Structure 1
Amino acid sequence: MSGCIISKRKYEVNLLHSQQYQKKLKRKRLANDGKALLLLLPSLIFLTTFTLVPILKSFYISLMDLQLGMKKPIFIGFGNYVELFTSSLFWKVMGNTLLFAIMTVIPSMVLGLGLALMLNMKHKLTGLFRVSFFSPVVMPLIAVASIWMFIYMPDAGLLDQLRASFGLPGQIYLQRSSTVLPALAVVYNWKEAGFLMIFFLSGLQSISTEMYEAAKIDGASKFTIFRKMTIPLLMPTTLFVSTIALTDSFKLVDHIAMMTEGMPNNSSTTLLYYIYQNGFNFFNQGLASALTVILLIIMLIASSLQFFTADSRIHYN
Structure 2
Amino acid sequence: MQLYGALLLLPAALLLTAFAYLPTVTTVINSLFLPGFRGAPTEFVGLENYQVLFDDPTFWKVARNNLIYAIGTIPTSIALALGMALFVNGKLRGRGFVRMAYFTPTILPMIAAANIWMFFYAPQIGLFNSLLGALGMPGVNWLGDPGVALGSVIVMSVWKEAGFL
For the criterion TM > 0.5, the same-fold answer is yes
1:301 match: none
- CA distance in 1: counterparts of 2:36 and 2:62, whole angstroms: 22
Q: Which amino acid aligns with 1:189?
A: V
Q: Deviations over 1:235-288 (max 9, x none)?
A: xxxxxxxxxxxxxxxxxxxxxxxxxxxxxxxxxxxxxxxxxxxxxxxxxxxxxx
Which of these two proteins has the greater Rg computed from alpha carbons? 1
1:97 positional shift: 1.1
- CA distance in 1: counterparts of 2:159 and 2:39, whole angstroms: 43
After alignment, is 180-189 or 53-62 more displaced?
53-62
Q: Deviations over 1:174-196 (max 9, x none)?
A: 11111010000100110111111
1:67 positional shift: 6.9
1:83 match: 52
- CA distance in 2: counterparts of 1:186 and 1:161, whole angstroms: 18
Q: Which amino acid aligns with 2:86?
A: L
1:69 positional shift: 4.9
Q: Retained in 1: the 8 A contact 2:142–2:148?
A: yes
Q: Which amino acid aligns with 1:102?
A: I
Q: Which amino acid aligns with 1:108?
A: S
1:34 positional shift: 2.9
After alignment, is 54-63 or 70-79 more displaced?
70-79
Does residue 139 (structure 1) correspond to residue 119 (structure 2)? The answer is no
Gaps of 5+ in 1: 1-31, 197-317
Q: Deviations over 1:9-34 (max 9, x none)?
A: xxxxxxxxxxxxxxxxxxxxxxx333
- Identity, % of aligned pairs? 39
Is the alpha carbon distance of 1:121 and 1:68 closer, same or farther for their aligned partners in structure 2, counting shifts above 3 Å?
farther
**Which one scores higher on RCO, CA 8 angstroms, separation ≥ 6?**
1
After alignment, is 35-44 or 68-77 more displaced?
68-77
- CA distance in 1: counterparts of 2:110 and 2:16, whole angstroms: 28
- CA distance in 2: counterparts of 1:158 and 1:61, whole angstroms: 47
Q: Which amino acid aligns with 2:75?
A: I
- SS state at 1:48 partner: helix
Gaps of 5+ in 2: none
Relative to the length of structure 2, the TM-score reads: 0.92
Relative to the length of structure 1, the TM-score reads: 0.49
1:92 positional shift: 0.8
Does residue 190 (structure 1) correspond to residue 159 (structure 2)? The answer is yes
1:107 match: 76
Structure 1 vs Structure 2 CA RMSD? 1.7
- CA distance in 2: counterparts of 1:93 and 1:142, whole angstroms: 23
After alignment, is 83-92 or 65-74 more displaced?
65-74
